[in-house]
Amino acid sequence: MTRPFFISLILTLSGIIFLFSSTKNDTGAHQSIYDFNATTLDGAPFHFADLKGKTILVVNTASNCGFTPQFESLEALYRKYADRGLVIVGFPCNQFGGQEPGGKEETEKICFAKYDVTFPMMEKTDVNGRNAHPLFVFLKDRLPGFPGKKIKWNFTKFLINAEGKPIKRFAPWDKPEKIDHYLENHIWKK
């Protein structure tokens, strides 16, 4: 065997080991969304345990994205089903094209003033990478996308049932109307 072959073999094996070690998500003892906390846009603690028995839709959002108008449909969905136990929780994120570059004030201006959002909005949050919020590590582990677990863009949506278990992942281009259909046919089916 030649030296270049062994070098190639070592590099290949090292790459495989790195790939498996870097994609492993430690979700620890987290069994449901109720094990997580976050911080609201106003800086207040937000405990998912307070939402026990509710159906939850977690969305990573951005104020300057082509999908930003989904805030309007998400708010309509929230108002339609709030009395049936739906809670939408938005997490502004600046990891996709720098589309959430501003601070709290800019996010509030878009969400609350422009789109009249009344569902809870959290502080700016990383959803991928080393600094990803543990909630998103958990959600991606339970509902991997294609290809891979990574969130690909703003307005990826995770539906969690009333027992706190993630049950469905929706792509950014899946409009809230599709979620409405899913809720009617799978969650609140009579």
Residues with active-site annotation: 65
DSSP states of 136-179: HHHHHHHS--SSSSS--STT-EEEE-TTS-EEEEE-TTS-HHHH
User: In whole angstroms, what is the distance from residue 102 CA to residue 62 CA?
Assistant: 10
AA identity, residue 89: V
- Around Cβ 146, how many Cβ atoms within 10 Å? 8
Residue 34 contacts residue 51 (beta carbons within 8 Å): yes
Beta-strand (E) ranges in the chain?
Answer: 37-39, 45-47, 55-61, 86-92, 157-160, 166-170
- DSSP conformation class of 24: -
